[in-house]
Amino acid sequence: MLDSPAEGVPAERHRPLYIIAADIRANWAKPHFAAFPYIYAMRSLNQISEPYGADSGTSIVAYFLSNAATWRGEHARRIKQELRDILKGQGYE
C-alpha cells in the first residue's frame, strides 16, 4: 500500500478511502460538524470512482476538503494533499 500517491499516479493506486477516513479520525479529535458526514461516507468507500448513495466518491472527497478548513497541522496537510492528488487524478481541479 502506498503512503501517499506520487504525482501522475492514477487515482486507482491511492490508499483506499476508508483507510484515509480512519487516518483522519485518528488524527482529528473533534472534526468540524460539516466535515463529519463526509468522513463517515469515506469510511464506506474504497476508491473515489465508487458511488455513495446518490453522490459520487469525487463529490464526497471534494466536500470533505471544503469543510475541513479548520483541521490544521502536519497530519492535516499531508492527508488533505493526498486527497487533492486523488481528485486531480480524476480530472477534478
Task: Say if residues 64 and 31 touch (Cβ distance below 8 Å).
Answer: no
Is residue 5 a part of any domain in this protein?
no
pLDDT digits (tens, 9 = 90+) for 52-65: 999 999 999 999 99
**Grid coordinates in use for 78?**
499531508
Give tens-digit pLDDT for 31-46: 999 999 999 999 999 9
Q: Give the closest residue to 32 by CA, choosing from 43, 44, 40.
A: 40
Give the percent of the chain with pLDDT over 90.
80
Task: Print the domain residue range for 69.
Answer: 11-89
Within a domain: 65: yes
Per-residue pLDDT tens over the stretch 74-92: 999 999 999 999 999 875 5
Give start and end residues of each alpha helix (H) in 1-93.
17-27, 36-42, 57-67, 74-89
Task: Look at the chain and report how many structural domains it folds into.
Answer: 1
